[in-house]
Structure 1
Amino acid sequence: MSFSGDTLLFFFVVLTLILDVRFELESLLFFFLILVILQEEKPRKKAKNLFWLLTGINFSNANL
């Protein structure tokens, strides 16, 4: 399942304005990093590897 950057931005606005959810600075930085990666037409391999590294998943060396 993939989400566009616009979809993530919409849910972020809903959470902050309508539901009055408070975010920490680290959460906001992580959210915007994901948003920037998803906004790219063709995300570069380094960006995808950084995303998976931040989420704790590393598929680059997995033998599937």
Structure 2
Amino acid sequence: MSEIAYSVKGAAATTGLSGTVIRDQINSGLIEARYPNSKAIIEHCELVRWVKSLPTDKPEVGR
């Protein structure tokens, strides 16, 4: 059975990103979190939606 929601730490582990990135995306409104208590959870479908909304082109790194 797959998870229906993730903690910030779980979402970070699932996407391979840091918890800081996930929290920043929540704080900027790009990921919608839910709050059953004081800790955020992110629904699986919301995490998938967010990942699919990311650019497909690799950003250029400044020199």
The two structures have a TM-score, normalised by structure 1, of: 0.33
**Higher strand content, 1 or 2:** 2
The two structures have a TM-score, normalised by structure 2, of: 0.33
**Higher helix content, 1 or 2:** 1
